[in-house]
């Protein structure tokens, strides 16, 4: 019997979401591939504020991810690559981060599929994802999205290797028309968009 795919809701992060992100990401396993074991609340205050600016200016951002009950479980979305000195400078990066209690339930792939639809609707034609070379879970998500590894970068300071995956968004649209990818249904629910997952992470 096939499990019912999860429902995720995406919203522009609120000021209160900074505290929720700080709480659920304050976990060594969650932060393993982010170069730190914990991050101060002020960093999430700045990050959520920046995402609200991206939404206002571009119509895309890192959206807060909520489960069916309305609990904040992480974020996913897209933003301009934030580092000016290395990596895919000037390009739109998709990314995700999920609280440890919610791993393995399909949320990330579901939300990433919704992200691709939103980003394409905003007029973006290609996206990248930068993933630590040892992060097997996130690499698996990029494969499910149909992304292909392109370049590799050495991360300044840590010396770790990051893989850059790429996806042309017309490929996603063509696959959906051909029936190879079942479209994600996105419907408004108050001030929250509910994205129904079609694939398990």
Give the percent of the chain with pLDDT over 90. Answer: 77
Roughly what angle, to the nearest 10 degrees, separates helices 41-58 and 17-25? 130
DSSP state letter for 27: S
Would you list the DSSP string of 52-98?
HHHHHHHS--EEEEE-TTS-EEEEEEEEE---SSSSSTTSEEEEEEE
CA 181/CA 124 separation, integer angstroms: 19
Give yes or no for residue 174 having a pLDDT over 70.
Answer: no
**2: pLDDT confidence band, cut at 50, 70 and 90?**
low
pLDDT tens digit sequence for 106-134 = 999 999 999 999 999 999 999 999 999 99
CA 173 to mean position of chain CA atoms: 19
The reported pLDDT for the residue numbered 173 is: 57
pLDDT tens digit sequence for 8-53 = 999 999 999 999 999 999 999 999 998 777 789 999 999 999 999 9
Give yes or no for residue 105 having a pLDDT over 80.
Answer: yes
Structure tokens given for 17: 């979401």
pLDDT tens digit sequence for 53-78 = 999 999 999 999 999 999 999 999 99
């Amino acid at each position: 019997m096939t499990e019912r795919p999860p429902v995720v809701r995406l919203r522009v992060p609120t000021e209160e979401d900074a505290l929720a992100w700080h709480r659920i990401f304050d976990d060594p396993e969650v932060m393993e591939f982010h170069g730190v074991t914990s991050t101060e609340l002020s960093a999430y205050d700045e990050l959520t504020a920046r995402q609200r600016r991206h939404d206002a200016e571009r119509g895309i951002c890192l959206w807060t991810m909520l489960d069916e009950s309305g609990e904040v479980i992480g974020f996913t979305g897209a933003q301009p690559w934030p580092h000016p000195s290395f990596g895919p400078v000037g390009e739109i990066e998709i990314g995700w981060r999920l609280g440890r209690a919610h791993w393995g339930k399909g949320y990330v792939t579901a939300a990433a599929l919704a992200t691709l639809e939103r980003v394409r609707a905003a007029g973006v034609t290609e996206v990248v994802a930068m993933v630590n070379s040892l992060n097997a879970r996130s690499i698996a998500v990029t494969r499910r999205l149909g992304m292909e590894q392109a370049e590799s970068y050495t991360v300044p300071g840590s010396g770790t290797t990051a893989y850059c995956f790429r996806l042309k968004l017309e490929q996603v649209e063509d696959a959906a028309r051909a029936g190879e990818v079942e479209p994600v249904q996105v419907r408004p629910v108050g001030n929250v968009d509910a994205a129904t997952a079609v694939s398990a992470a």
